[in-house]
Chain A
């Protein structure tokens, strides 16, 4: 009877007590799509671009023309670390329509570009390449390829392939040129690798090679701050028409860049802002100089006053530094001890500084303070160039390429496409890293409470990521960028959620210190009596066996 009581107590403790203890002490952890996140850890990206190759009259023979239209798919595969990349170009060959022929007969490439643009509105991320005969007057003497302001390129076919060859031969001949055009106007492997730098561990050697692409904007939204540094307000009273200059020079470019990143612009004047380095006097030139090596230290004292209080968005700073009377003129020297013609320098993802010497505006016997109007066209020319350098990477052009001069927006459609390609890939890469590292963290530390809102953000990030990858595969660049932005927003929100910090953390020794006084005295009798019951049971069985025998 005593055994029965001991057994029932043990049973109650195990059936009721343990689950009760378990349920009341567990932390709330919402469900996360772990398997999908693990799938994202090994990323398989496929970038597809639609390319149309249009043959103008005189580039294909009639028998070649019979096989046109024709669609070919070109695949390229790369594997970097855990990421497999596949580039797919869907190339459609067709002959030109009459209207396009007319357009190609325009006298200059720029006009042809414009009229071709009005004929067809090509979607984001796609390209049209027109093949024109050798005899065409459209392109200047030495150039073979002209890239327009939109998404079109004109390619002159060499003289040696005019007749007597099959279409396949023609296409194989054209292939390298088309490939070059695609590399310039669409994504290239180096761009994509650079964009993946968040995911992929790069060797030090390749780090150098992607330094150029690292200059580009990382995420949106951005804040652009123009600061006028006047270290000597006693002598110089500086006036700059920053409102007008921004309206005229910067705003068109930014509205063009709007799909990639949001920008807000502000400006300020900083007085008594000193540089961190004392410029050296160069008696040969009767001027002060700043060396390229010391540029990194120049901004340190100013940096404290550039901070942006009201938002945590990344800031691009453009500083206009007017040297004080005792240190002007001031010139910047590059690594070869040569004067830099723009007198400006920049740093990736930080911004740029331009030194603006004003000592030429007054003679030695001027009375201070002097009112000085700053030539905003000159300043903005430099800042705009720096902004483009920081924002839009350009790959070196192969020989024989001609790029149409930029229009008033400062940025061609295909340049924007390039930006969008790498931005999408980068967003996808960053979001996947964030999500996987978050999942890893939550997996490792079991005490973190996962609230429903975090789970929701994570799953929406995962869905957006999957959608973005799918859209990239299909070639819908605009949608892919949209989804990748959503993914990055949701993933960052989940990662930086303050509720994750509310960690109910108990060291194990403290836990045991609290549990032992209760559990030890309670469990020992139960355990011992269970042992006793077991041994008695065994003994009885032995006795029974003995009786049977």
Chain B
């Protein structure tokens, strides 16, 4: 094992082991420092492995190693995951006050599974980390388990994403049948039709994790988790990994012919529709959640049209923006005690440092030039135009919607509060230094990370991971213009909120009506069937056997036994009858002899006469 390999293994194993210990042990005081230190070490190792690009594998299942590989794409994403984890944990050290050991332990496990997901080179390794990520997200969303609704939300998240994960099981079967082996990179060489099956399976799994339509609803409930959880879940782990997986299997999608267009349209469709949903929200975190789905739509679009470099850049920049905004929401939730936009009006005027950072994030989210998401989004849209003008147009609509919902945030933060909101405050009234420091770091990222999608870095990324190497000045200008117009329209004119999008199109209710309730009904019906039909027929069968035995016993006593007795009695009577001539009187014996002799003579005479 080389040093780089050791670094890779340590990077993923250290947070897992420390996290596992913290989650079980009760080290409330030291949990935060230990976790922050661990995340820091992992970040250093992540940067090192990104430079050294090691790969390693150990025998796992027959013909399917547990393979980890830091290629160029992973080298971009892995430091992002580690760094976001580190900063979010610093924030959490100042924000989470109870059950710290369990919280930091689970967060480390969560980030470790995201790191394995990002570096996984084989299907078993991917599925391993992928589902662990889902399970830790369940535990984190339902972290405050005394509230049943939070646990329910975790359950919804886990079951929904696992429904999609079944695609990975199918893909594993297809890989085995297609003879291409379980390595992700070799799947595109699987035999037909197994290659298409594998591609479809992975696509479904990724869309589920990335909360793309129609799976989006689980993310709405996931907001019930603590804010640092949302920050990590939306930026670097879980949701982001869904988009990342599609970028990783872009060659497989492209090789099928249908995979690219389907992926692209699901992505851009989600970006538009969830843009409306975001615009319709009245809750800070719900707005951010919907916008995450919409922004991931651009990443999915990128995977569909082959703009891997643009998609990866968008993913990284979005991570910084979204972690920043979620942490802001969390800081204000603690300080003010609410996340309703109406009640948060003017909140940036009270905490200006936080407010300025959040505004930088919101402006980046809007796609204002020269901030990060402007450039990254546009490098995706440029490629989309090549494949279809309709895709491009839809992408522009989604961009305009991003500007609008970001504008809503900016306006809310800086508007004059209707009343003195200190009076309405139910929170602590404080934003700690530990909470503020990471915001500054994320703000810097939100502002500057667009360089990944601009020359000269764009070309470097294109060479390393694929996608176009050039930018189109005209399209950049169009995007920037749309963003400014959308933002200003929102801030000045207060565009109407689409109320019909408030409930996320009723997706969760639909899932309940179409899937959950029928399945529960079927389960109850089968349970009844099992008790009343399967088991009872068996009981009846054994009851029948018992009755048969009773009948046999009855027949035995009444029939056979009585028959035997009856015969015995008759024989006895016969015996008595036979005894009756034996009287002991001589004269009677003579009489009997004479009678028999006469009878014999009569019989003999009759016989001779008849010849």
Partners in one complex: no
Interface residues of B, Cβ cutoff 8 Å to A:
none
Interface residues of A, Cβ cutoff 8 Å to B:
none
